[in-house]
Amino acid sequence: MSMRALFVYAAAGVVAAGLAGVAMSAVAEAGRATADGAPVASGVDKIQGRAAPRGPAPLSSALAPASAQLPAQAKPVPVLRLPYATPKVPVAPTAGTAAAAEPAVAIILQDQVSLRAAPRASAQLLGQLYQGEAVEVRGERLDYLQVYDHKRERGGFVHASFVYRSKLGAADAPELLTLMRFLRDSPGSEALGIGLSAAYLEAASAPTLNSPAGAEAFDALGGFADRLARRASSGRAQDKLAAATLAAHLEVAARYGVNFAAYEQQGGMRLCYDGEAFRRVLALPAGPEQRARAALGLTRHECVNPDLNPAARARLDEWRVEVLDKVDAAALPGYLRNRVLMRRAGVWAGLAYARARLAETTAALPGGPVLPGAPDAQKAEGAAARALSELAGVVKAELAYEDSGAYAEAAMRVSASRWAAMPAGEMHGARGPILRTMPGEPGETCVLLLDAARPDTKAPLARRCTYGLVWTASASLNREASAVALAVQPLAAWRELWVFRKGTAGWSINVLPPASSGPDVGYAEFAGWVPGGTQMLVAREAREEGKLKRAFELVRLDTLTSDREVAEPGMLSSFQRWQDPNWKRATLSLR
C-alpha cells in the first residue's frame, strides 16, 4: 500500500473514531495531523527550515513572500482532508454489484440525498447526505452506487445522478478546478465548493499547487468558507429545514478541517473563518485581485476578537495594515480598489485610537507597553492622517451598490478618530472657563473645568473622569461663555459629545452618544452654537440595530434633546446660518 493511501486511511480512521461529535477546533486539528500524530509544518515553514508550529500561527504568517514555494518533490500539506479512505480489509461488493474498477470518491452534489439499504427508491432509508460530503465508492448496481460513509460508519446505495465521482488523480485536477470556478459565486453552494476544493488539493500535484492554479484554488476555498461564515451570521429568520441545512453545511466544512471562530456581538453570535486559505494565497504567486480578496478576508472588522487587551489589539491592527499594504490597489478594478481603500481607512482609524491610548498609558504608567518606533502620540497622528487619506481616495462613482453600507461604516470609523490627526491642545480664554485634563485612577483621564481667573484644580467648576480618549483640541466655548462642547472617544469606533453647561445651580456635564443603543459604530460631534445660549447644532451618525442613520439636529442644551432633526443640513435654516466653519471644513458627515 502506498504511503499516500496509508496517510489517507489514517485520516479517515480518525474521523471514524468520532470526529463528528468533537468541537470544530478539534476537528480541524485532527484534519491537519499526520499518520503518526506529529504536527505538520506549513509549506513556508518547510522552505525556511522552521520546525512545525505547536501553537497558533503568528500574525505575520500571512506575509510570507509570494515567491516562497515548496520544493517540487514535496507536495504541500493540504488545508483540507477528505474523509475517505481505503478500508483495512477489502469488503466485497454485494451480490449483483459490479466492483469499482479503481478506488474512487463520490462527492454529494445536493442536500438531503438519501443513503438507502438497497439500490431502489423504496429501500430502507439509512441516512441523509448533504452537499460536499465525500463517500467511498465500492461498486455499481443499476443506476446506483454502492458507497461507504466513513462518518456514519455504514454502507449503502446512492443514486448516481446525485454525486460527482473522482479518482483523485492528477488528470482530474483541471475538471475539479473548473467546477470550483462555477460554484465560487453561487450562494448556498459553499459546502459543495469546500468538498470540491478538498478533492482538488488531494488530486493536484505539488508543482500545480505552487502555481497560479493553486493560488486560484485557495482563493476559491477561502471565498467558500468566508461566505459560509457570513451566511451563518446573517441573523435572517430561518425555518427548521433551512436551519438544519445550514448546520449540516457547517458540519461538512468542519469535517474537512475548515476552522471557524465564534464571537458574541450585539446580543448575537458572529461566525468568522480563520483565514488559513487566504494566508496560503498570500504565500503563492497570486494575482492582484486574488491578493486583494485574501487581504479583505483576513482583515474584517467584525471578526476581531472583542476580548483582546489594548496592546494585543494594537499589534493585531499593525498586522492588518501590513497585510492591506501588500495589495497593489492601482492594479485593481475600481470597485475592488474602493473596497481595499475603505478597509485600509477603517483599520488605520482603529490603529490611531490604539496608538493614542497606548501613548496615554505610557505617560501615566512609566514602563508600560510601548510600540516600537516613533512616540505613540506622533504615530497616532500619522495613522489618523493615513485613514483620512485612504478614505479620500475612494471614488464614489465606482462604488458598488452593495458597498454603500461599507463606505458609510468606513467614514464613521475614520470620523470617530479624526481628532487624532490634530495636535493636542487645551482650551484657553480670558472671558470664560478653561479646560484641563489630569490623570485619575489607573487608566482614567479626568476633565476639569476651571475658572480662568482662579484656575484651582482642587476646586474645579465641574469634573468628570473617563477611560476613553479626551480630544482636548475639539473643545469649543459658546459666545455667552455658558457652555462647552468636548469630543471624548471611549472606543475605537465610538465618539461621544460631552456638554458642559452653566445653570442656576452651577456647572453640569451631560453626555450625548451617537445613538441610544449600545456602543457599536458611530459619532456625535459639535457643529455650531446657536445665539442665545440655549441651543447647539449637532451631527450624529451611527449604526443602530444593524441600520445606518445620519442626522443633523438642533439640540437643547438643558436636556440634550432634539428640537429638530433632518437628514441633510441644507434642510435646516439654523445649520445654514450658525454652523461652525471649523466643523464644516473638517467633518466627514458632509461627504
DSSP per residue over 400-435, as a string? -GGGHHHHHHHHHHHHHHGGGGSPP-----SSS-EE
Low-confidence ranges of the chain (pLDDT < 50): 1-78, 84-91, 365-375
Residues 262 and 346 in one domain: no
C-alpha cell at 121: 427508491
Question: Is 201 a domain residue?
Answer: yes
Task: Determine the distance from the C-alpha atom of residue 465 to the mean position of all C-alpha atoms in its chain, rounded to a whole number.
Answer: 32
Question: Is 320 a domain residue?
Answer: no
Task: Determine the distance from the C-alpha atom of residue 586 to the mean position of all C-alpha atoms in its chain, rounded to a whole number.
Answer: 29
CA distances from 213 to 63, 77, 180, 265 (A): 20, 16, 12, 37
C-alpha cell at 260: 471557524
On whether the CB atoms of residues 358 and 369 are closer than 8 A, the answer is yes
Question: Is 591 a domain residue?
Answer: no
- Of residues 476, 483, 510, 479, the one with CA closest to residue 496: 510
Question: Is 581 a domain residue?
Answer: yes
Burial class (CB in 10 A: 0-12, 13-18, 19+), 102: exposed
Residues 382 and 484 in one domain: no
Give the pLDDT score at 64: 36
Tell me which amino acid residue 235 is.
G
Question: Is 157 a domain residue?
Answer: yes
Burial class (CB in 10 A: 0-12, 13-18, 19+), 540: buried
User: Which DSSP symbol is given to 586?
Assistant: H
Q: Which residues make Cβ contacts (< 8 Å) with residue 416, sequence separation at least 6?
A: 349, 353, 489, 491, 492, 493, 494, 495, 521, 522, 523
φ, ψ at 144 (rounded to 5°):
-120, 155
Residues 383 and 280 in one domain: no
- Of residues 147, 180, 150, the one with CA closest to residue 165: 147
Residues 86 and 124 in one domain: yes
Residues 474 and 566 in one domain: yes
CA dihedral 208, 214, 216, 219 (to 10 degrees): 170
Residues 414 and 430 in one domain: no
On whether the CB atoms of residues 340 and 328 are closer than 8 A, the answer is no
Question: Is 192 a domain residue?
Answer: yes
CA distances from 136 to 103, 192, 587 (A): 8, 16, 62
Beta strand ranges found along 349-505 (DSSP E): 434-439, 445-450, 462-466, 469-477, 483-491, 494-503
Residues 406 and 443 in one domain: no
* Residue range 189-215, pLDDT digits in tens: 999 999 999 999 999 999 999 999 999
Q: Where does a domain end: 420, 453, 469?
A: 420
Q: How many domains does the chain have?
A: 3
Residues 441 and 393 in one domain: no
Residues 433 and 524 in one domain: yes
Question: Is 344 a domain residue?
Answer: yes
Residues 154 and 282 in one domain: yes
C-alpha cell at 526: 459639535
On whether the CB atoms of residues 216 and 277 are closer than 8 A, the answer is no
Q: What is the domain extent for residue 531?
A: 424-586
Q: Which residues make Cβ contacts (< 8 Å) with residue 253, sequence separation at least 6?
A: 132, 190, 191, 194, 225, 228, 260
Question: Is 222 a domain residue?
Answer: yes
Give the pLDDT score at 338: 97
Q: Where does a domain end: 420, 440, 474?
A: 420
Residues 276 and 396 in one domain: no
* Residue range 533-553, pLDDT digits in tens: 999 999 999 998 888 999 999
Angle at 250 between CA 54 and CA 164, to 5 degrees: 105
Give the pLDDT score at 271: 93
Residues 348 and 486 in one domain: no
Give the pLDDT score at 14: 33
